[in-house]
Amino acid sequence: MITCSAPAKVYLFGEHAVVYNESAICCAVNMRTRVNIEYSENIVIKSSLGTTGIDYEIHPYVSAVVEKIRKKSPCRGVSISIESDIPVGSGLGSSAAVVVATICAFNNLLKLGMDKESIASFGHSIEKEIQGAASATDTYVSTMGGTIEVPKRRHLKNPLCNLIIGNTNVFSSTGQLVAKVASLKSIYPEIITPILSTIGKTSLRGEGLLENEDYRALGELMDVNQGLLEAIGVGCDELSRLIHSSRAAGAFGAKITGAGGGGCMLALADNENIDAISREIKNAGGIPIITGVTDSGVRVD
């Protein structure tokens, strides 16, 4: 039996803009999906969603990985079991984490000799197949760990303050939100394109602030980024409530993380404010998760 795991990720800056090749900064965070794999008679995929064989309704990402791997490297059955700390459809990269952890598990079971770059790019091809438009960001960050600027894939200094996630528990579909932004952009290109480019600039300015550990200014720019995300139509009432409550409770800054339209927000905070921010996220109807950056990308456990 082999067990591999991969982390969730948050965006400090740049979601949606990154789909158009603008800069974004992501951090891998301390919540993981673990995938166990062993030989068996048939294909069995077990998770909290149920036990299936190849099943594109219930386990689309793992089914796609299994079918692609078996085409490259025929093997008899395998039993795969998945357990995860990462809420599904919440913008924290749950699909990327399960995809890269499953590829890593096959890589070790079948001795496929893939390096991390190949795991990340194979993972991206699976996300694209299942989700339609998807940038390579989620799979890359979950594979490599740490804090990464994309699309250039430069490792940056990790933020040394607290990251507080607020989950609205409202399911959001990345594919639909990416399509919504694409549609707005095609109707109003002269308005939406500069907004996306300005989001990219918040990320580029954010890099220097991260390097200088200036979290107050970093938070201020996250608030600017949030305004721009609202402008491209990916906000929602539930997210706004959590974001405004976090700011009122003393966060350096707060914004959506991931595709928006539900899912999660992210607040940056010093030690004194963590409890107040968590409490206010709860009072505003969200689920607070206090986390931090992990340098550990996909790995064999």
Is 145 a binding residue for ligand MEV by CB under 6 A? The answer is no
d(CA 99, CA 126): 8
Q: Give the Cβ contact number of residue 292 at 10 Å.
A: 13
Among 141, 239, 251, 259, binds ligand MEV (CB under 6 A): 259
**Minimal distance in Å, beta carbon 99 to ligand MEV?**
13
Residues linked to residue 299 through DSSP beta bridges, in sequence order: 5
**Minimal distance in Å, beta carbon 91 to ligand MEV?**
5
Is 237 among the catalytic positions? no
**Minimal distance in Å, beta carbon 94 to ligand MEV?**
10
The nearer residue to ligand MEV, 32 or 280, going by C-beta atoms, is 32
Is 167 a binding residue for ligand MEV by CB under 6 A? The answer is no
Among 35, 134, 221, 265, binds ligand MEV (CB under 6 A): 134
Is 138 a binding residue for ligand MEV by CB under 6 A? The answer is yes
d(CA 273, CA 260): 24
d(CA 17, CA 109): 37
Among 135, 139, 168, 246, binds ligand MEV (CB under 6 A): 135
Binding part of the chain for ligand MEV, among 98-106, 116-124, 131-139, 247-255 by CB under 6 A, reads 131-139
Among 123, 258, 262, 286, binds ligand MEV (CB under 6 A): 258
d(CA 74, CA 280): 52
Output DSSP code: residue 157.
Answer: P
Residues 78-97 that bind ligand MEV (CB under 6 A): 91
Beta strands 147-150; 154-156: pairing state: antiparallel
**Minimal distance in Å, beta carbon 165 to ligand MEV?**
13
d(CA 74, CA 53): 17
* Cβ–Cβ < 8 Å for 265, 258: no
Q: Give the Cβ contact number of residue 290 at 10 Å.
A: 15
**Minimal distance in Å, beta carbon 142 to ligand MEV?**
11
Residues linked to residue 208 through DSSP beta bridges, in sequence order: none
Q: Which of 115, 138, 214, 275 is catalytic?
A: 138
The nearer residue to ligand MEV, 259 or 268, going by C-beta atoms, is 259
Is 19 a binding residue for ligand MEV by CB under 6 A? The answer is yes
**Minimal distance in Å, beta carbon 258 to ligand MEV?**
4
Is 174 a binding residue for ligand MEV by CB under 6 A? The answer is yes
Is 10 a binding residue for ligand MEV by CB under 6 A? The answer is no
Using alpha carbons only, what angle is made at residue 36 by residues 33 and 38, rounded to the nearest 5 degrees? 160
The nearer residue to ligand MEV, 37 or 201, going by C-beta atoms, is 201
Please state, in angstroms and as integers, the Cα–Cα distance from residue 89 to each residue in 54, 94, 246, 247, 250, following that order: 21, 7, 22, 24, 28
Please report which residue ranges of the chain form alpha helices under DSSP H.
60-72, 94-109, 116-131, 137-144, 174-187, 189-211, 215-231, 237-248, 274-283
Length of the chain: 301
What is the contact surface with ligand MEV in residues (CB under 6 A)? 15-16, 18-19, 91, 134-135, 137-138, 174, 178, 258-259
Catalytically annotated residues? 138
